[in-house]
Amino acid sequence: MKIRYRFTLIFIIIISSFGFAKTPLKRNKPFLHIIPKPVSIIKLKGSFKLNKDTRIVFDTLDFGKRSIAELIQKALPFEAKFELLDTFEYTNAIILTLDDNIENKEGYQLKVTKKTIELKAKTDAGLFYAAQSLAQIIYFDSKKNKIPSVQIDDYPRYEYRGLHLDVGRHFFPPAFVKKYIDLMSLYKFNRFHWHLTEDQGWRIEIKKYPKLTKIGAFRDSTMMGRYSDKPRKFDHTKYGGFYTQEEVKDIVKYSQDRHITIVPEIEMPGHSRAALAAYPELACTKGPFSVMSIWGISNDIYCPYEKTFKFLENVLTEVIELFPGEYIHIGGDEAPKSRWKESDFCQNLIKEKGLKDEHQLQSYFIQRIEKFVNSKGRKIIGWDEILEGGLAQNAAVMSWRGESGGIEAAKQHHKVVMTPGNYCYFDHYQSLDKNEPLAIGGFTPLEEVYSYNPTPTVLSDDEAKYIMGAQGNMWTEYIPTGELIEYMVYPRAIALSEVVWSQPEKKDYKDFVRRLLPHMEKLKKDGVNVANHLGDITAKFTNTGNSISVHLQTSIDDFDIRYTTSGAKPTIKSKKFKKDFEIDSDTNIKAISFYKDKKMGYELNRKIKMHKAAGKKMKLLIKPSKKYYKGGENALINGILGSNSRYADDQWLGFNGTDFIGIIDLGKRMPIRKIFMRFYNSKGAWIYPPKEIEILVSDDNVNFKVAGAFKLKEYDKSNILSVPIRLLRTTYTRYLKIKAINYGTIPKGRQGGGHKPWLFIDEIIVK
Interface residues toward ligand ACM, by CB under 6 A: 333-334, 383, 400
- Beta carbon nearer to ligand ACM, 400 or 679: 400
Q: What is the C-alpha separation between 678 and 690, in angstroms, rounded?
A: 11
Q: How far is the CB of 195 from ligand ACM (least distance, A)?
A: 9
Q: Least CB distance from residue 674 to ligand ACM, whole Å?
A: 42
Residue 388: count other Cβ atoms within 10 Å of its Cβ: 17
Give me the least distance between CB of 198 and ligand ACM, in Å please.
Answer: 10
Angstrom distance (rounded) from CA 615 to CA 629: 17
Of the two residues 385 and 463, which places its CB atom closer to ligand ACM in the complex? 385
- Element (DSSP H or E) covering residue 275: helix 273-278
Closer Cβ to ligand ACM, 334 or 463, answer by number:
334
Contacts of 183 (CB under 8 A, 6+ apart): 486, 489, 490, 493, 523, 528
Per the CB < 8 A criterion, the answer to whether 472 and 161 are in contact is: no
> What's the min distance (Å) between Cβ of 425 and ligand ACM?
7
**All residues at 6 or more sequence positions from 456 whose CB lies less than 8 Å from its CB, including other chains:** 403, 406, 407, 467
- Within its chain, how far is the Cα of 150 from the centroid? 33
**How much of the chain is in helix, strand and coil states, percent to nearest 5?**
30, 30, 45
Which residue lies nearer to ligand ACM by CB, 302 or 559?
Answer: 302
CB of 300 vs ligand ACM, minimal distance in Å: 17
Nearer to ligand ACM, 385 or 762 (CB): 385
Least Å distance, CB 333 to ligand ACM, is 4
Residues 497-511 as b or e (16 or more Cβ within 10 Å = b): bbbbbbbeebbebee
Nearest approach, Cβ of residue 398 and ligand ACM (Å): 7
CB neighbour burial string for 8-45, b if at least 16 within 10 angstroms, e if fewer: eeeeeeeeeeeeeeeeeeeeeebebbbbbbbbebeeee
Minimum CB distance to ligand ACM smaller for 243 or for 383: 383
* Other CB atoms within 10 Å distance of the CB of residue 97: 16
- ∠ Cα 447 452 455 (to 5°): 170
CA 361 to chain centre: 32
Output the smallest distance, CB 453 to ligand ACM, in A. Answer: 21
Instruction: Decide if 535 contacts 600 (C-beta within 8 A).
Output: yes
Burial class (CB in 10 A: 0-12, 13-18, 19+), 705: exposed
Residues 123 and 682: their CA atoms lie apart, in Å, by 49
Shortest distance in whole angstroms from residue 487 CB to ligand ACM: 20
Q: Which residue number, 400 or 680, has a Cβ lying nearer to ligand ACM?
A: 400
Q: Given the complex with ligand ACM, which of 33 and 492 has the nearer CB atom?
A: 492
Q: How far is the CB of 485 from ligand ACM (least distance, A)?
A: 16
333 vs 659, which CB is nearer to ligand ACM? 333
Of 383 and 679, the one with the shorter C-beta distance to ligand ACM is 383
